[in-house]
Amino acid sequence: MKINVVQRLLKVNDEIAEANRADLQEAGLVTFNIMSAPGSGKTTLIEQTISRTQGLLRIGVIEGDPETSIDAERIAKFDVPVTQIETAGGCHLEANLVRRALKGFDLPNLDLLIIENVGNLVCPASFDLGENVKVVMVSTTEGHDKPAKYPNMFRKADVVILNKMDLLPYVAFDFEVFREYIRKLNPDAALIDVSCVTGEGLDAWLLWIEERLAQESARQVP
Amino acid sequence: MIQRVLELAFGVSEAHERRPIRGITIEIGVLQQIMPAALEFAFEAVTRGTPAEGARLEWRMVPLEVRCRACDLHYTPPGDFWVCPRCASARATPVRGNELNLLQVELLDTSTGEDP
């Protein structure tokens, strides 16, 4: 006997993501989901963001990794609330994991929640966590063809951060080809090139955050 | 993903006197970038030793269709770069192709005691 079902596999995740989104909005904060391949510089970008906005922005961080709390320990040095999610081999974060982690934060007393996803350019794009902004990071050492190879991820980005610009002279990364790929896949995405090591471009990143926060608070019902 | 499919399928089985699962049909949109071969492999591995062992996995691929955000035209991009054939805008929203659905569960028909 055949039973027709028509059940979305991601239904449960999406429902929890919407619940997260509602709770975060009610608490009056903006949430970023930072995604990239392993080693692009997500954690370093978060460190730089925190250190350059201390006293101005109240930031909380959720870290996601298959194993260890290495990243959370790095962030903890900055005296901001941080929780580590260890997925035990899972290659992406899901809404239920984030929901559990949210319980550990005093959300109304934060301005910005940054979720650092598991390093992976494929799966995280499919799992809504309840965020407002999708940040996709890539670095000059990864090759300019990444947007063409991972269109799904780059198409969903609100902002693309190209990191390790200080290494550009040493790698075969064609910035114009890269920029063109992004423009063709996602003309509305902001593209910010930075070096978390030299500090190049980080002002533009902070300005983008400021503008985005202003946009989101104007959008939220008081 | 396969585990999620099985959870739902076992739920259907539970709701029907726990009849064994003989087949599962899923619908996958091309944007999900899931390889059927990987799916088959995972399905076989995960169902071994369960009441769903030996069940058939069928999938239907849903092709991509997008709606141009500039002029509202529905079209199917030939490649990864979405360019509207009418107005050349690169801004488009998927209308079909993002699906990840369990469509149908086939349970053993115990009235005959045989596989259909």
DSSP letter for each residue of A129-181: -S-SEEEEEEEGGG-TTHHHH-HHHHHT-SEEEEE-GGGGGGS---HHHHHHH
B80, B100, B105 member nearest A5 (Cβ): B105
Q: Which residues of B touch A128 (CB under 8 A)?
A: none
Banded model confidence at residue B112, pLDDT cuts 50, 70, 90:
low
Q: Name the band, by pLDDT with cuts 50, 70 and 90, for residue B40.
A: confident
Enumerate the residues of chain A whose CB falls inside 8 A of the CB of residue B106: 1-3
Q: For strand B92-96 and strand B65-68, is the pairing parallel, antiparallel, or unpaired?
A: antiparallel
Cβ distance B104 to A4 less than 8 Å, yes or no, reads yes
pLDDT above 70 for A222: no
**Closest residue to A4, CB basis, from B19, B26, B103:** B103
Condensed to tens digits (0 to 9), the pLDDT of residues A13-68 reads 999 999 999 999 999 999 999 999 999 999 999 999 999 999 999 999 999 999 99
**Bridge partners for B4 per DSSP:** none
Tens of pLDDT along A119-171?
999 999 999 999 999 999 999 999 999 999 999 999 999 999 999 999 999 99
Of the candidates A218, A215, A219, A196, which has an alpha carbon nearest to the alpha carbon of residue A207?
A: A215
- Best to test chain B binding among A6, A7, A181 (most B CBs inside 10 Å): A7
- Cβ–Cβ gap B102/A1 under 8 Å: no
The residue of chain B with its CA nearest to that of A6 is B103
Cα(B90)–Cα(A184) distance, rounded to whole angstroms? 6
Q: What is the pLDDT of residue B111?
A: 60
The pLDDT of residue A162: 98
Instruction: Give the pLDDT band of residue B109 (cuts 50, 70, 90).
Output: confident
Residue A151 to residue B32, Cβ atoms within 8 A: no
DSSP helix, strand, coil percent of chain A (3-state; round to 5): 45, 20, 35
Quote the pLDDT of residue A191.
98
Contacts of A3 in chain B (CB under 8 A): 12, 16, 104-107
Q: B23: nearest CA in chain A?
A: A2
pLDDT category, B18, cuts 50, 70, 90?
confident
A178-192 mean pLDDT? 97
Read off φ and ψ for residue A111, nearest 5 degrees.
Answer: -100, -35
Residue A219: is its pLDDT beyond 90?
no
Strands (DSSP E) found in A25-139: 30-36, 59-65, 82-86, 112-116, 133-139
- CB pairs < 8 Å spanning A and B: 61
- Chain A 158-197, CB below 8 Å of chain B: which residues? 183-188
Distance from CA of B25 to the nearest CA of A (A): 9
Return the closest-CA partner of residue A112 out of A47, A193, A48, A24. Answer: A24
In order, the DSSP letters of A82-98 are EEEEE-TT-SS--HHHH
**A92-106, A193-207, B49-63, B67-81: least confidently modelled range:** B49-63
